[in-house]
Structure 1
């Protein structure tokens, strides 16, 4: 059994073989390997919690979720997006801030009740798709709970923490049930529900 490299260590060593000037999104996804889904999902979740970003983040999460359900090895972006590059220096600064935070997170969450990445993708994908739809609710701050649930799923996926994954899935199910109840109540008040009985 091979020893699993922590995500923080993987990111810490990410730029060792990078081009001195710029790196592309395709290069980053290839280097992150089986953890690319988790990191992209975490990034999108954090963006989705910001005001006004939901309309952009939700479709990207939907694309990511469908690719996870289809069992893709990593996120696939259109060529024009994949070949976009960022300055290596700027990425290094960002990673310099992110790695200590991830290292602290890894102190609490670590591989427990391990689930193979392939199986985890198929479970997490549909949930992320539904939570992404909740980001579009036209209610102030309604984007924050689903964004946090997606972030929890991403961390559980990255750290291969089955216990955290169960907690994140339970929280996601609760959010989806509350949303379904709110929609049902709204339909009832509009008189649409009576047509079903």
Structure 2
């Protein structure tokens, strides 16, 4: 047996030449400093090279693992089970502009140093005392009174959730952030 690397052939003892196929492992792309769109384009090339579907579970995990940390948080907020096209669209929407949080234009309670859950309890108690039970007003008051950072988190989580679900997500994000401290 003779191995001829420059000609990419393997000659067997019987004289048969077998072409060598040298396979290079393809490393998955990383987002790095790339925009989400550019990263997604790199993922599409990677998918083509691997011959898998865009919504392949392992590919989605690779996509997630190689995102920037802030974008990983956005995927968690949206839900990992969504198709990659939906995830990319969500990331672009979040990164490209703000939802009009000013439509929630009133509020006298402020979050201050309270946790999300403590502030939510105070707002609910306040609204009970006022006799106002309409959820939209409660939601508006709650969001308007949040700290600026938490208002941004609420926007990132999507303001169209029911208030209880929004509070639950904000609280989970707050817990995750507090673990970093």
TM-score, length of structure 2 as denominator length: 0.29
Q: Name whichever structure is richer in helix by fraction.
A: 1
Name the larger-Rg structure: 2
Which has the bigger relative contact order, CA under 8 A and spacing at least 6?
A: 1
